[in-house]
Structure 1
Amino acid sequence: MTETSDVRRHRAANAEITLTLDGEPLAGAEVELRQVKHRFLFGCTGFEFLDYASGTSAQPERDERTLELWEGLFNFATLPFYWGRFEPERGKPDTDRLLTAAEWLTGRGHTVKGHPLAWHTVTAPWLLDLDNAAIAEVQTDRIRRETSAFAGVIDTWDVINEVVIMPIFDKYDNGITRLCRDIGRIPMVRMVFDAAREANPNAVLLLNDFDMSAAFECLIEGVLEAGVRIDALGLQSHMHQGYWGEEKTLAILDRFSRYGLPIHFTETTIVSGEIMPPEIVDLNDHQVDSWPSTPEGEARQADEIERHYRTLVSHPSVEAITYWGMGDAGMWLNAPGGLVRADGTPKPSYDRLHRLVNEEWGLPATKTATDAEGRLRCDGFLGDYAITWRDREVGFALDAAGEQRLTLELG
């Protein structure tokens, strides 16, 4: 298990804070100090809240409980923009519903990412009626439309998903594979990134893939050599066939960090039931009627999730981890990969991650006192904090590792 000191080296700061009231040091005062939000992006899908955010949920009490559990861990939500579901009929996108959910999440203080803008799977079926030139035009129009309409609410995007396999994908015919086969991977990436950058110059744009082989490295190198600006690399880690382990994870991080780009672990799952057979090449081919969570699997999942998060957070290149599904209900491939069981009760993995994020790496509300010069110390992970004295409160940020000196006026 990665040592706590390795995590703190990149993620924590010490601050000497002088509190003032009407310009004078507030000496000998008992105050409350608490962390409001991590700078590190601890994420999860937000798909579960689309109906709840719009007030159309069929089970609002269940969704309220899910939200409570979700917000107990996460500050970063991924919303679905799969083209085939977002715009199944050309010219009728699901913009209003997704915008309502995104605004609701940002209003609760969460960062939101859209996933994905271009992908050969779950893409619009009506693309097959178009030639490749027209597919390219509607794809870039689609990207400009979404990144413009959601700018200021969603400013982080998985721009293109799984490009390594895109031109050779053969499970079924689709317009995006046709186009990528025609123009090539690097021109495809350039096309979609240019469209997103043009529409929202301030957006954080990711190149996302599940392929951790040298093929993805070659693609990244080719794209960068072509002058395409990538803001972060998205690495998927669906561990349905077993936990990667620290050695493999760190080796992957070291390989992909050499490009000098931030790394997001965009899709992470670890199952709490039977492990998928190793001979399965495409995880989608594992179709079973029942895939239950088990007590033994839940204990294993809890240990492995803690180890995985410690490993990722200890590495300076990693800026975000997104767990791919809060609960087993509705989980991809019906896998028992959630942190919450199908009945809504949290698994040991939820409790383990909650302790890690909020206690070991967080700062719960803590009573402390200023000294004779109005000073106090804060030692915590990078993020937003608040100090409360009586009915007054002031916020501040620990925004860089190391020592800080701050003077804060209580409002």
Structure 2
Amino acid sequence: MKFLTGAGLFCLLSNVVVIAGQELLKNGGFESLSDWQCWAPLQCFLTSDAYSGSHAVVASSRAESWQGPTQYITVNPGQRYNVSAYMKLLSDHIGENMEAYVDMEDQAGHHVYQTVATHGSAKTSDGWVFIQGSFTAPHTAVKTVRVAFDCGPSAHVLFAVDEASVTPLTGITNVTDAYLNNVIDRERKGDMHFNVKTASGVHMNDIKIHVLQKKKSFPFGSSFNAHKYNEGAANGKYRDFVNKHFNWVVPENALQWYDIEWTRGHMNYKLALDAIHGVKSHGIKVRGHNLVWSVEKYVQGWIKQLSPTELKTVVKHHIEETMNMTRGLLEHWDVNNEMLHGSWYQDRAGDPNYNLELFRIAHHADPSVKLFLNDYNVVAGSGFTNDYLAQAKKYKAANVGLGGMGVQCHFAEEIMPDASLVKERLDLLSTAGVPIWVTELDVVAVDENKRADLYEAALRALYGHPAVQGILFWGFWDQTHWRGPHAALAKGNNMELTAAGRRVLDLFENQWMTDETHVLSAVGNQFNVRGFHGDYEIHVLYQGRELPHLMQNITLYKGSDVTVSINVQNVV
């Protein structure tokens, strides 16, 4: 829900050394202010406190957090670029992020802003820090591309920049559709070994074996609006869409603390619980999102009035109560949302390790639920990828019940997801040895067919990575989608599929499902079917007529093949 992200002159991505090419920035060492723009009221001046050389630049008198030294560059369509710099916070303010972003303007004057490199929760004591990330230029020509360095969310803080660099990114794997298809075949499928016996007089060309997948085991789902789901007949088509097309869901905001208890002591669990019971009655599994949210603007006013001691008591009670109310209903919980982008709870508690305590409280309250980290700009962009890896390793080593990493994938508007960069980021995150789930996927494009292309590219890159264990959209309907109708899979009161919706469902309900019929005379008494993991019905037909007594139900699991024995004797 947010800005998007992602190397320095030399950087290490997934054990691949990336060596930068020709430098695009002029005067990246800031030995003067030439070639850089500092738009009023921003003031830039040189300082001798440099990372290297004689000078660095200081940004002051900013009115907006996005203001900082900026420079226009020329890029090639579809080229990947590496962005890096050394940055230093000069005035302490809790929770600031130092970052580099690009502003790409198309020929129609539409701007796409993409955060590409970040150092989160900066402090003056950090000194000079290295930020690095990557972005892909649009495949169509752009009018202008601008690189800028800023610090936020506060505007008034001072920061310095030195050794800025933008270079073509080389040395990473070029991920093709063929590569992704091979991974999908290897990771998402298994073998069914068929042994068929026939009675004398039963001709093999009269027998057909129909292998029909009824349910996919891979988690595929979305957030959904609990109000709309619960409204019954008035929104029956919305509810039916959820029940029909998803096997995992998350009740969007309904389990978040500010929805449950906006006013202290006035609880509302019914909305979420009614929706959860509804989807579970259709065999759908549910994620919990979220117990607390570290970003300050999502913290209720009454909580902000609590003393550190009272805060800890109230938070502990909320976590224990909420997990007790949802006991046995949820598979996952996002414990403290977006900790790379906010630190309100640990700052107010005065304890830099307070977030670890929140995991301990939640794990003790319900050890059966898998507890997740959840953050953005870690796969769709890479500004926080390295920070997220370090965070996951820390929580895993602390033994606080970490069950997975949630990677929000909010891809930039109108820009094709880059499968090669997605792979590099997922490769890196997977080294933490923690399950990875795509918890919040969306793209944005005005044209429905382009949107379909963007969704397909994102899904193939994510489903085609072995570390990804589930994929959930963050919304699907034009009337409730947080990024608006140009991200939607369905539109209108009749839940009409958009071109993007048709493409997505074709992938998950057709291309990535198995439905095969084999004539025994063509394949023989022993043959194999390679199918997607999930639940199957095996139907036997003789001269076009099904033999119902021979129908079997089987489940194809990841990591194990299945043998199916069929004895065709009585065909009367």
CA contact (8 A) 1:209 1:235 kept: yes
Counterpart check, 1:16 vs 2:188: no
Aligned residue identity for 2:274: T
AA partner of residue 431 (structure 2): R
- Determine which structure has greater relative contact order: mean sequence separation of CA pairs < 8 Å that are 6+ residues apart, divided by chain length: 1
Equivalent of 1:92 in 266, 269, 278: 266
Task: Tell me, yes or no, if the aligned pair for 1:2 and 1:307 is still in contact at 8 Å.
Answer: no
Task: Give 1:361's match in structure 2, choosing from 508, 512, 516.
Answer: 512
Question: 2:557 is aligned with what amino acid?
Answer: D
Letter of the structure 1 residue corresponding to residue 438 of structure 2: F
Take 1:210 and 1:36, find their aligned partners in 2: how far apart are those partners? 33
More helix by share: 1
SS in 2 for 1:59: helix
Give the corresponding residue for 2:177.
Answer: 2
Cα offsets for 1:119-165 (capped at 9, x unmatched): 03433332123212222222222222222222222121112210012
- 2:98 paired residue number: none
Residues 214, 536 of structure 2: 8 Å contact kept:
yes
* 1:43 paired to 2:215: no
The structural deviation recorded for 1:402 is 5.8
Match of 1:153 among 305, 329, 348: 329
User: Which is worse superposed, 67-76 or 252-261?
Assistant: 67-76
Q: Which amino acid aligns with 1:6?
A: V
Pick the aligned partner of 1:404 from 562, 567, 571.
Answer: 562
Following the alignment from structure 2 to structure 1, what is the Cα–Cα distance between the partners of residues 212 and 282?
18
1:222 is displaced (CA, Å) by: 2.6
SS of 1:223's equivalent? helix
**Aligned positions of 1:184-195 closer than 5 A:** 184-185=351-352, 187-195=353-361
Quote the residue 2:18 is aligned against.
none
DSSP-derived class of the 1:310 partner:
helix
Determine whether 1:198 maps to 2:358.
no
- Pair 194,407 (structure 1): closer, same or farther in 2 beyond 3 Å: farther
- Going from structure 1 to structure 2, the CA distance change for 1:154 and 1:83 (only over 3 Å counts) comes to same
Paired residue type of 1:200: D
| 1:82 partnered with 2:256 | yes
Deviation sequence 1:12-41 (CA, Å, 0-9, x none) = 001125689xxxxxx987565322221211
Instruction: Tell me if 1:101 matches 2:275.
Output: yes
Of the candidates 420, 427, 433, which is equivalent to residue 247 of structure 1?
420
Name the CA distance, whole Å, in 1 between partners of 2:510 and 2:396.
40
Matched residues in 2 for 1:40 and 1:345: separation?
25
- Aligned residue pairs total 364
Q: Which amino acid aligns with 2:561?
A: E
* 1:188 CA drift (Å): 2.8
| Residue 406 (structure 1) shift | 4.7
Cα gap change, 1:132 to 1:57, in 2 (>3 Å): farther
Indicate the SS of the match to 1:227.
Answer: coil
**Structure 1's 35 and 190: CA in aligned 2 closer, same or farther, altered over 3 A?**
same
Report if the CA contact (8 A) 1:17-1:375 is conserved. yes
**2:375 maps to what in 1?**
209
Q: Is the 8 A contact 1:11 1:381 kept in 2?
A: yes
Equivalent residue of 1:166, what SS?
coil
Note the C-alpha offset of 1:255: 1.3
Bigger drift between 308-317 and 217-226 goes to: 217-226
**Change in CA separation of 1:373 and 1:264 when aligned onto 2, cut-off 3 Å:** same
SS of corresponding position for 1:237: strand
2:391 pairs with 1:219? yes
Deviations 1:75-109 (A, max 9, x none): 11011311111122333322223222111111111
2:418 and 2:445 map into 1 onto residues whose CA distance is 16
Offset of 1:263 from its aligned partner? 0.8
Tell me the distance in 1 between the aligned counterparts of 2:488 and 2:351: 36
**Closer/same/farther in 2, CA of residues 19 and 194 from structure 1, 3 Å limit:** farther
Aligned to 1:134: 310
Aligned to 1:118, the other structure's residue is in SS state strand
Return the alpha-carbon distance in structure 1 between the equivalents of residues 270 and 194 of structure 2: 44
Q: Give the Cα–Cα distance (whole angstroms) in 1 for the partners of residues 433 and 535 of structure 2.
A: 26
Specify whether residues 19 and 134 from structure 1 end up closer, same or farther in structure 2 by C-alpha distance, changes over 3 A only: farther
The sequence identity of aligned pairs, in percent, is: 22
Cα separation, partners in 2 of 1:108 and 1:72, compared to 1, 3 Å? closer
Q: Indicate the residue corresponding to 1:383 in structure 2.
A: 534
**Cα gap change, 1:349 to 1:99, in 2 (>3 Å):** same
SS at match of 1:332: coil
Counterpart in 2 of 1:119? 293
How many Å separate the matches in 1 of 2:550 and 2:316? 49
User: What CA distance in whole angstroms lies between the structure 1 residues aligned with 2:247 and 2:241?
Assistant: 12
Query: Could you list the per-position Cα deviations for residues 360-389 of structure 1 after superposition, in whole angstroms to 9, with x for gaps in the alignment?
Result: 11024x555779999775421112223355
How many Å separate the matches in 2 of 1:73 and 1:35?
15
Residue matched to 1:318: 468
> 1:236 aligns to what?
408
1:323 Cα shift? 0.9
**What is the alpha-carbon distance in structure 2 between the residues aligned to residue 222 and residue 350 of structure 1?**
39
Alignment CA distance shift 1:194-1:29 (3 Å): farther
Specify which of 433, 436, 441 is matched with residue 260 of structure 1: 433
Q: Is the 8 A contact 1:132 1:179 kept in 2?
A: no
Which has the greater radius of gyration? Answer: 2
Q: In 2 relative to 1, CA 149–268 (structure 1 residues): closer, same or farther, beyond 3 Å?
A: same
Equivalent position to 1:309, from 459, 468, 471: 459
CA distance in 1, matches of 2:534, 2:269: 31
Q: Which moved more, 1:220-229 or 1:254-263?
A: 220-229
Is contact 1:114-1:158 (8 Å) kept? yes
Name the Cα RMSD after superposition: 3.0
Q: Contact (CA 8 Å) 1:116, 1:161: kept in 2 or not? A: yes
Q: State the one-letter code of the partner of 2:419.
A: E
Mapped partners of 1:345, 1:361: distance in 2 = 22
Separation (CA, whole Å) in 1 of partners of 2:232 and 2:396: 44
**Preserved contact between residue 456 and residue 504 of structure 2 (Cα < 8 Å):** yes
Distance 1:71 1:377, change over 3 A: farther
For 1:160 and 1:96, how far apart are their aligned partners in 2? 22
